[in-house]
Amino acid sequence: MAETTHIVPEDADQTTVAAAVRAMFEGLSWSRARALVASGRVMVDGDVIFDPSARVSAGSEVRADQTGKRKSARSLPQDALIFVDHDLAVVIKPPGVETVPYDENKRDTTSLLAMTLQSLIDTQRRRGGTVQRGLGVVQRLDKETSGVLVFPRTHAARKALQGQFRRHAITRRYVALVRGIPTEQSIETQLVANRGDGRRGSWRGGGKPPPEARRAITHISVLEAFNDAALVECRLETGRQHQIRIHLSELGHPLFGDRIYRARNAPNAPAPSRRTMLHAASLGFTHPSDGRPMHFVAPTPPDMAQLLHSLRNGDQV
């Protein structure tokens, strides 16, 4: 059967879209199931889904068409593109989306990069004229992290922004929900790919850190304190991979929803959120062409706002 519909059962709650599709067709391989999703031939509750690793809830309707027309990458919601000119595209990244494709050798339809480019192409085609296709990468946010991010649209803009990142001239403000209430402080460590337990973390070996260690500085302040939890602000001087998550976890204040960087001896309780509660709230830099200061703010996403509401009400989470 080329097309079929499936209702996700209770025992498959939060399974991946690829797994749901594979269950719909007897003998379907994992690679074929993922390809069907990535090519836009799968809908969940009426919406086309391009990410094979996206989660579906029990009761959701999944429809797949093996012979359907291939669809291009989805566009971003119109309000996610908050600034566009010849040099830059500033976007608000939703949680659950990779900034860039995980596998660069495969056709990319699901990353923020692909969706932003598709949105720009769609807009330019509606307006007519030449379509400007270039889009570079100067920063990344983790898949589960939401918030504001800039893509350069020209080679010159990319080089200029890369220089600002190297000089630490970019201002980046994050907010996070954490366990416990940390003290206001600045953290400086040397991050390594393996801190001794197979995970990225701060060098604790004593003496001179290895050559691959990278200096990481995070400034932390508490915006709002609750009962054994806090909303914190993190300002970055450096932008190392997982820097905020590592620094807060090593302080004993892991982020809500973080399943990798947990404080030692932390209770193995169910996570109160399905993703890491980290949000890139604002971004500031100098425009690469005319030098004017640029500053952008991303509103608190709904899932974080809902968790904040529960904490303010004194709910147990």
The torsion angles phi and psi of 201, rounded to 5 degrees, stand at 180, -170
What six digits make up the tokens of 197? 């337990």
Question: Annotated catalytic, 11?
Answer: no
Paired tokens of 9: 């059962």
Helices 30-38 and 17-24 pack at an angle, to 10 degrees, of 120
The residue assigned the tokens 């890139």 is: 280
In 20-87, which ranges are E strands? 42-44, 47-48, 55-56, 61-65, 81-84
**For residue 142, what are its two tokens?**
């983790």
Q: Which region holds residue 242: left if phi is over 0, alpha if psi is between -120 and 50, else beta?
A: left
The candidate with the shortest Cα–Cα distance to 293, out of 284, 302, 306, is 284
H-run or E-run covering 284: strand 278-286
| Helix-strand-coil split of the chain, %, nearest 5 | 20, 30, 50
Burial of 208 by CB count in 10 Å (0-12 exposed, 13-18 middle, 19+ buried)? Answer: exposed
> Tokens standing for 220?
């932390």
* 104: three-class secondary structure by DSSP: coil
- From the list 142, 197, 290, 303, the catalytic residue is 142
Beta bridge partners of 88: 152
Q: How far apart are CA 273 and CA 286, in angstroms?
A: 35
Give SS3 for 303.
helix
Select from 229, 226, 262, 239 the least CA-distant residue to 174. 239
Provide the annotated active-site residues: 142
